[in-house]
Amino acid sequence: MESLSRRCITHSPQETIYLGEKLGRYLEGGEFILLQGPLGVGKTVFVKGIARGLQVPTSVYVRSPSFTLLHIYQGKVPLYHFDLFRMKQVEDLASIGWEEYLTGEGVVVVEWGDKFPSCMPSYLSVKLDFAEEENDREILLQSSDKKYISLIKRMFP
């Protein structure tokens, strides 16, 4: 299966926001983005950028949905931001209406979705990692899905 990846390094939270914003501007609704990487690496910071790119007003504070599992932001299309870190069992996904979000017109972004791999549809993976310098992050955008391969190509011509 064809797969494509692009690797970026950011040197500050602001640069990670810019990269997320760039991605957000290419989103139209119906996309599914899986954010991967360890605790505190910058997944939520990246989502802040996606929200900006989707024209969620800057007055809206994007923060981690750790306890509520889901935050919804209204931009040019809805942004559904999940954090499944505290979700205990796969059955709980159904009770928060998971399937409906997947088939809706919004953009779904998920932190800690790899806990429930069988529930994830095909996705654009954004994998963040710590790097040498304290504020450096390695960010890998990767997919083997045609739709996201095309998106990555448009983002990085």
Ligand X SMILES: Nc1ncnc2c1ncn2[C@@H]1O[C@H](COP(=O)(O)OP(=O)(O)OP(=O)(O)O)[C@@H](O)[C@H]1O
Residues that bind ligand X (CB under 6 A): 10, 12-13, 15-16, 37, 39-45, 64, 83, 111, 135, 137
Q: Comparing C-alpha atoms, which of 149, 127, 108, 122 is closest to residue 8?
A: 127
| Shortest separation between residue 123's beta carbon and ligand X, angstroms | 17
CB closer to Mg ion out of 65 and 106:
65
**Min dist. Cβ of residue 83 to Mg ion (A):** 6
Helix 13-26 × helix 146-155 angle, to 10°: 120
**Residue 135 interface partner, choices ligand X, Mg ion, none, CB cut-off 5-8 Å depending on type:** ligand X
1-29 per-residue burial string, b: 16 or more CB within 10 A, e: under 16: eeebeeeeebeeeebbbebbbbbbeebee
Residue with tokens 């007055």: 59
Q: Which residue is nearest to ligand X (CB)?
A: 42
Task: Tell whether residue 64 is a contact of Mg ion (CB under 5 A).
Answer: yes
Nearer to ligand X, 31 or 111 (CB): 111
**Residue 125: contacted member of ligand X, Mg ion, none (CB under 5 to 8 Å, by partner type):** none
Q: Which of 10, 16, 36, 44 binds Mg ion (CB under 5 A)?
A: 44
Binding residues vs Mg ion (CB under 5 A)? 43-44, 64, 111
